[in-house]
Amino acid sequence: MVSVKGSSGKSVNVQILGIGGVVGMLRSKGQDITRGADLGVAKAGAYIVDEVKESIIGNRAEHKSVDTGTFANSIEFKKTGEAQGVVEPALKIYPGGQTTKEIALLMEYSKSISAGPRRHFGNTKIRNQETVKDIIKKEIKSII
């Protein structure tokens, strides 16, 4: 609340009341937004994990990349910070010695594989950008 305390000639004394309450409310809303964003990123990460798996098993536009299921089953979301995370294959080793991370890079970028680069991660990201934003916005709005 703003109130005029008094005046004398050329000056007016103004007192602003309630600043502490406003600052506290803004801090609280900021914490709520951060919590909502953090939850939204986790939910969006889980959604993208499912979408990458669907791509790998051939239910999206990319060429099917399933042999044993090890690669598709290795995809996971890892929280990397506040409202941050990454979708990637968990580290597993194939019988021939290659890791799931090496297989992911090979499938994503290599032109030497029979169907060419499959871009399971990159295409999933492009296809789902708006959905990810919507999931995060929804979580933030539900908290504030």
The span from the CA of 45 to the CA of 51, in Å, is 10
Amino acid occupying residue 109: Y
Residue ranges, the chain, pLDDT below 50: none
Domains of the chain by residue range: 16-143
Give the per-residue pLDDT at 24: 87
Query: What is the predicted pLDDT for the residue at 39?
Result: 97
pLDDT of the residue at 138:
97
CA dihedral 97, 71, 136, 133 (to 10 degrees): 100
Kindly report the length of the chain: 144
Q: What integer pLDDT is reported at residue 56 of this predicted model?
A: 95
Cα–Cα distances in angstroms (integers) from residue 14 to residues 1, 9, 22, 62, in the given order: 11, 14, 18, 66
Please tell me the predicted confidence (pLDDT) of residue 83: 94
Residue keyed to tokens 């007192």 = 15
Q: Kindly report the pTM of this predicted structure.
A: 0.81
Could you give the CA distance from residue 66 to residue 68 in angstroms, rounded to a whole number?
6
